[in-house]
Amino acid sequence: MKDKVFSNIVKRLAEVKKLENLTVKEIRLLSTPKRIAYTKLKIGKKTYPAWRILFSDALGPGKGGIRFHPGVCQDEVKSLSFWMTLKNSLAGLPYGGAKGGVQFDPRQASDKELQQVSRKFIDAFYKYLGQDKDIPAPDVYTNSQIMAWMLDEYEKKVGYHQPGMITGKPLDLQGCVLRGDATAKGAFIITKAMLKKFKLNKKKLKVAVQGFGNAGLFMSQMLAKDGFRVVAVSDSKGGIYSKTGLNIKKVIAIKKKQGSVTKHKQGQVVTNAQLLELPVDILVLAALENQVTKDNAKDVKAKYIVEVANGPTTYDADQILFKKGTMVVPDILANSGGVTVSYFEWAQNRTGNILDKDYLAKLLETKMLSSWNKMMTVYREHDKKIDLRASAYIIAIRRILSAERLRGNL
């Protein structure tokens, strides 16, 4: 099972190589991380493997979140750092790509242990981090409080304030007012653009959302508030389905009070696997990678998939979905709202110029729609014979390779 996630990336790069006539040297550069930093964090008698991987800094300092999860491994962190590289490039941000991870389950930890792991991560990797080097942010099972501990530990290590070394911070530590629901907000903007492009009536659509963490919860909330019929949602413990539509406000209340959406009495309980195959029009993937695979892609009934998670669809599944006519809005576009708002936060930290919330919200929409339009232009240029992911990859890779050529590395 070694490199089971990154192997999908290698296959996709091979596809882009043919489409763009890339050289072996260009592919090698695109598929090789610049730095892999690894250690084991020691907390009492326990040790937790930890990584910070910088994939590319051709376009600027590394940028990417830190996830705490018991399943974290080097292959996953490497893949995530690659996707961050393309995501930041597609969004037109002045960043390369990076990612961090700790093989640790914060759901089973005390606040004390959670803080210890957070600070130990910075102790291990702070020399690689900084507002001009590599800028972390929250990811799966990390949040603004963890970013606050990490900022504090970093500043103790270096001996001066540098709020721009990390994003996703609390507002009182110079965070950004939009950051909490930014990933979902960006995905919602793209979903609305998709409806407009393909002339879809939201009142006639049924939506299922896999994943009910930060992004999935906010996405469900935004969809329901805007008039979409959300018929199914799920978290790590399972899901619920009601073909007439769920009361998302009540689902959120149950989730917060009892820990899982499955405790909600409305509808029937389904597994995460079953949710993927429900008779819906739009499937929002907001959980983890490798959810739609060659084994279940043929049974996915949704005509449109929006990837709020990173890498939820494998390469083989993409081929099956494309042949079926299923439209997949790729992760490097759909979930780029989070890093775009992180950019706003970083820029504010560096300049000291705090911008108005409404202005930033409009700027986020402008940037998301610009990326959507660029992707659709390439899609049309190829006469719709490639999927949206390949279209997005082409745009991102062109910008990265241009930067490498200008630097004299190609």
CB 100, CB 50: distance < 8 Å? yes
- By three-state DSSP, how is residue 205 classified? coil
CB 240, CB 246: distance < 8 Å? yes
Q: What is d(CA 311, CA 5) in angstroms, rounded to the nearest whole number?
A: 8
Q: How many residues does the chain have?
A: 410
Is 99 a catalytic site residue? yes
- By three-state DSSP, how is residue 404 classified? helix
Please tell me what DSSP assigns to residue 203: G
Measured between alpha carbons, how far is residue 42 from residues 47, 120, 130, 154, 250 in Å?
Answer: 4, 8, 23, 18, 41
Percent helix, percent strand, percent coil in the chain, to nearest 5: 50, 15, 30
Cα 249 versus chain centre, distance: 24
Q: What is d(CA 274, CA 194) in angstroms, rounded to the nearest whole number?
A: 25
Q: What is d(CA 208, CA 272) in angstroms, rounded to the nearest whole number?
A: 11
Q: Which amino acid makes up residue 194? A: M
Residue of 87, 99, 185, 206 marked catalytic: 99
Q: Which amino acid makes up residue 362? A: K
Starting at the edge strand that comes first in sequence, how are the strands of the sheet with 268-270 ordered? Answer: 268-270, 238-241, 229-235, 206-210, 282-285, 304-307, 327-329
Residues tagged active-site? 99
